[in-house]
Every structure is written in structure tokens, then in C-alpha cells.
């Protein structure tokens, strides 16, 4: 690959878009609370489309609200190279997770415009809807739909915790697009994302070349017990769903500790109970848990232990437990050709880099099922993420964006 190392992004211009985004949907502690399909999400989407339109891109929105800004290539018959990530955040999220990736893509387009670079293949900048899954589960639902994993009509019927429907909310903010979801050829997909872990920050390496992800297995567990009076009901007659779910929560956490030495993780992130009132035992609870490990076989072993713990906790709490939904992702390996382009871009730009595995889920996982895909990680302070204290520095992020620029350019012109 021949790289014109004078072709570089405008760092301050890029960062000004990140800072502007950081004002939309403020959280309580300096971060963001910009849940999918809320008014704040609409405000950010509108601004994003304004920026894309200013570069001369044609913007389309598909039926699940994914936004595509297309920059024509010299051969419009060739499938496009996609660059993107997400603009929604967690309930208490940072200003960088996902956002840096989308706005890095915007900066790539602006840089190519500045230099009047025409690529052979079209470039498309994409913002995927509801990546976080913080409002509508599952996460990465719209990129998954684009990849054919989920049915669009099923997605449009999803409900949030308040019973609001995905399709209604999409319409309310004006992003119920007309374009079909996916089903068209994609040449390649590149996603830049903050690492959300401590490795790059600790080693002061600005670029992580993501070769793949941790294997993840997760599920919702329904727990059924029986309501009863908290006072007179003897201990041996109780079927408290909340207690069964709590036992499982602790057991899952213990499994995480068992695999701590090899960086295994086990998480219970959500627990709801009904009626969840003082003085009465719960007849229903639901918890959401997952396990993660770099090696698929180990993740499978952890998962088997979670399933065994489920049976054990159900027996000890005299409740019934059943799987209400199960998923797995992350054992995908990214495309060797695209990963090589990222590595070559880093080398020829003289950017320090290392290979890394992703421990979080990303839209790139689903897209890797339908198109050659690569990811670039940039550092975030202390690896803090999904927290309003999430922080990234311009100087540590710019090298990754330049690598993105040159890798995408090489792919689009090959």
C-alpha cells in the first residue's frame, strides 16, 4: 500500500464535532444520557444529517432508522465501503463511546473533500440505531437487522421498560425511513471505537488493531415463584422469585471470579421483580446475565456452569427458572484483508499499534457476517466506559482516525 502521509485529518475540526455532540442529551455528571429514539437522539441525528449534507453526501434512512450518508465513487456500480458506529448512549454514558467512531467517519469524508480526493468505490458513513440496547433490548439490534439476523417487523414491535414501541418512537422523531434494511452488497465495513478497556491507555499505544472479539453468551432468565405474606409464611413454604434470582446473580458473579485469572467475565446487569413491594414475596423476577472469554471453549465451560447454577438456585429457592431469550456473539474473527489494510496504514503512518481483542459488543460483529470488516480501537482513560466519567484525548485519538482514513481509502480504491 502506498500511503500519502501528507493526507491527514483536521484534528481540531474533528474534535469540535465530538464536543458539540457532547452537549446534546447531557447526563447528571458531565457525560451523556442520549437513549435511542428520544428527543436528544433526534437532535443529534438532525445535526449529524446537517453535517453530512454539507459535505454533499446523499442521506437515506432505512426502516429501522439507520442513517447512511453516501459519497459517490468514480464507479457507482461498485458496492460501497462503509464507515460507522453509533450516536446513542447508555443511561449514564460517556461522550465518546460510539460517537467518536461516527464523527471520525465524518472527518474522513471532510478530509477527502478538502483534498478533492475521488475514490473508486462509493463511501457510506453510517449511524446504527440503538446500538447500546439501553432502551430497547437486544443491543446492536439495527446493525443486526441490516445483517439479516433480526426481522425488521420484529424490531419495530420491541418495547422499552415503559411500554413504548420502537416503531412508534422512530416515527415520533421522524426517523421511520423508507429504505429497505440491508439486502444490498457492501464492499467492506470499518469501525473506529474507544477501547472501553484499560490496555491501550496503560501501554500508551494509540491504536489497537482489533482482530476479533471475546466470545459472549447471554440470556434473560424468567423466575417464577409465588406471592405470600412476609410475616407468617414459614421459611420452608416460601417460593420467593426475588430470592431465587438473587442467588443466581451471586452465583454468576462467583463464576466470573473463578475465571478472573484468564480475564474471563461474568455479569448480571439487570434484575426486576414483581410485585417488588414491602411485606410480600415476589412471584416473578427476571435477570439478564452474560459470560465472556477470549477462548470460545472456555466461554462455553463458563456458560455450562451458569446453567448448572440456574438449576441449583431454582431448587434451593423452590422456584422455577427458564430461559426467556438467549444470545451469543463475538467469536467472529475480522477479515484478514481489512485487518491487514489497517495494520499497513498504521505502519506507513508510523503510528504505534498492537493487536487487541474486543471485550464489548459492537455493530461490527454483525456486519462482519455479511461483509469484510475491521475495527480500530483508540484509548480511553483508565478504560472507564459506560460511565459519565468516560474520557478520551484528541491527541490520542487522531492517530486512529488517520489510520481509519488511509485504510478505508486503500480499500475503496483497490
**Choice between 98 and 379, CB closer to Zn ion:** 98
As measured in angstroms, the least distance from the Cβ of 238 to Zn ion is 41
User: Using alpha carbons only, how large is the chain's radius of gyration in Å?
Assistant: 22
- Judge contact between 351 and 399, C-beta under 8 A: yes
**Choice between 97 and 187, CB closer to Zn ion:** 97
Confirm or reject binding of residue 31 to Zn ion (CB under 5 A).
Answer: no
As measured in angstroms, the least distance from the Cβ of 102 to Zn ion is 10
As measured in angstroms, the least distance from the Cβ of 86 to Zn ion is 6
Cα–Cα distance for residue pair 243/249, rounded to 1 Å: 10
**Choice between 21 and 119, CB closer to Zn ion:** 21
As measured in angstroms, the least distance from the Cβ of 97 to Zn ion is 4
The position carrying cell 438473587 is: 246
Angle at 266 (CA atoms; ends 282, 368), nearest 5 degrees: 115
Residue 24 region by backbone torsions, left for phi larger than 0, else alpha for psi between -120 and 50, else beta: beta
The sign of the CA dihedral 192, 194, 195, 200 is positive
Which whole-number Å values give the CA distances from 260 to 50, 69, 215, 247, 385, in the listed order? 46, 42, 15, 20, 20
Within 10 A of 237 (CB to CB), how many other CB atoms are there?
11
**Choice between 187 and 290, CB closer to Zn ion:** 290
Measuring CA to CA, which residue among 319, 343, 273 is closest to residue 1? 343
The sign of the CA dihedral 16, 54, 131, 175 is positive
DSSP states along 304-353 = HHHHHHHHHHHHHHT-EEEEEEEEEE---B--HHHHHHHHHHHHHTT--E
For Zn ion, the binding residues in 83-112 under the rule CB under 5 A are 97-98
For Zn ion, the binding residues in 138-157 under the rule CB under 5 A are none
* Antiparallel, parallel or unpaired: β 207-213 and 373-378: antiparallel
As measured in angstroms, the least distance from the Cβ of 98 to Zn ion is 4
Grid coordinates given for 403: 489510520
As measured in angstroms, the least distance from the Cβ of 85 to Zn ion is 6
As measured in angstroms, the least distance from the Cβ of 93 to Zn ion is 9
DSSP states along 208-277 = EEEEEE-EEEEEEEEEE----BTTTS-GGG---HHHHHHHHHHHHHHHHHHTGGGT-EEEEEEEEEES--
As measured in angstroms, the least distance from the Cβ of 96 to Zn ion is 9
**Choice between 194 and 317, CB closer to Zn ion:** 194
**Choice between 107 and 187, CB closer to Zn ion:** 107
**Choice between 175 and 377, CB closer to Zn ion:** 377
Size of the site for Zn ion (CB under 5 A): 2
**Choice between 98 and 218, CB closer to Zn ion:** 98
Angle at 371 (CA atoms; ends 87, 68), nearest 5 degrees: 35
**Choice between 97 and 222, CB closer to Zn ion:** 97
Helix (H) or strand (E) holding 13: helix 11-21
As measured in angstroms, the least distance from the Cβ of 100 to Zn ion is 9
**Choice between 97 and 283, CB closer to Zn ion:** 97
As measured in angstroms, the least distance from the Cβ of 131 to Zn ion is 6
What residue is closest to Zn ion based on CB?
98
For Zn ion, the binding residues in 261-300 under the rule CB under 5 A are none
End-to-end Cα separation, the chain, in angstroms: 10
Binding site for Zn ion (CB under 5 A): 97-98
Amino acid at each position: 500500500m502506498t500511503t500519502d502521509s501528507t493526507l491527514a485529518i483536521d484534528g481540531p475540526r474533528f474534535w469540535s464535532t465530538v464536543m458539540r455532540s457532547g452537549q446534546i442529551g447531557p447526563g447528571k455528571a458531565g457525560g451523556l444520557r442520549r437513549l435511542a429514539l428520544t428527543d436528544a437522539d433526534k437532535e443529534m441525528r438532525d445535526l449529524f444529517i446537517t453535517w453530512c449534507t454539507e459535505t454533499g453526501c446523499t442521506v437515506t434512512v432505512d426502516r429501522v432508522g439507520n442513517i447512511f450518508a453516501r459519497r459517490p465513487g468514480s464507479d457507482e456500480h461498485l458496492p460501497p465501503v462503509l464507515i460507522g458506529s453509533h450516536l446513542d448512549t447508555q443511561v449514564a454514558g460517556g461522550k465518546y463511546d460510539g460517537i467518536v467512531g461516527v464523527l471520525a467517519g465524518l472527518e474522513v469524508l471532510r478530509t477527502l473533500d478538502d483534498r478533492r480526493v475521488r475514490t473508486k468505490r462509493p463511501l457510506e458513513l453510517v449511524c446504527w440505531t440503538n446500538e447500546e440496547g439501553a432502551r430497547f433490548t437486544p443491543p446492536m439490534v439495527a446493525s443486526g437487522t441490516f445483517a439479516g439476523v433480526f426481522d425488521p417487523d420484529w424490531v419495530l414491535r420491541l418495547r422499552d421498560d415503559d411500554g413504548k414501541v420502537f416503531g412508534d418512537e422512530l416515527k415520533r422523531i421522524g426517523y421511520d425511513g423508507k429504505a429497505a434494511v440491508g439486502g444490498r452488497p457492501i464492499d467492506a465495513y470499518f469501525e473506529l471505537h474507544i477501547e472501553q478497556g484499560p490496555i491501550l491507555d496503560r501501554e500508551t499505544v494509540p491504536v489497537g488493531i482489533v482482530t476479533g472479539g471475546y466470545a459472549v453468551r447471554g440470556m434473560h432468565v424468567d423466575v417464577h415463584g409465588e406471592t405470600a405474606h412476609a410475616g407468617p409464611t414459614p421459611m420452608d413454604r416460601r417460593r420467593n422469585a426475588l430470592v431465587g434470582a438473587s442467588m443466581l446473580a451471586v452465583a454468576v458473579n462467583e463464576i466470573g471470579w473463578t475465571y478472573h485469572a484468564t480475564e474471563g467475565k461474568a455479569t448480571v446487569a439487570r434484575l426486576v421483580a414483581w410485585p417488588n413491594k414491602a411485606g410480600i414475596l415476589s412471584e416473578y423476577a427476571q435477570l439478564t446475565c452474560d459470560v465472556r472469554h477470549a477462548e470460545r471453549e472456555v466461554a462455553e465451560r463458563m456458560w455450562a456452569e451458569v446453567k448448572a447454577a440456574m438449576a441449583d438456585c431454582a431448587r434451593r429457592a423452590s422456584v422455577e427458572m427458564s430461559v426467556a431469550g438467549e444470545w451469543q456473539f463475538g467469536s467472529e474473527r475480522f477479515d484478514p484483508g481489512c485487518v491487514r489494510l489497517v495494520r499497513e496504514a498504521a505502519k506507513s503512518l508510523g503510528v504505534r499499534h498492537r493487536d487487541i481483542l474486543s471485550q464489548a459488543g459492537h455493530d461490527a460483529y454483525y456486519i462482519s457476517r455479511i461483509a469484510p470488516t475491521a475495527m480500530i480501537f483508540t484509548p480511553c482513560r483508565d478504560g472507564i466506559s459506560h460511565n459519565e466519567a468516560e474520557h478520551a484525548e484528541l491527541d490520542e485519538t487522531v492517530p486512529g482516525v488517520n489510520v481509519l482514513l488511509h485504510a478505508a481509502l486503500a480499500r475503496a480504491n483497490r
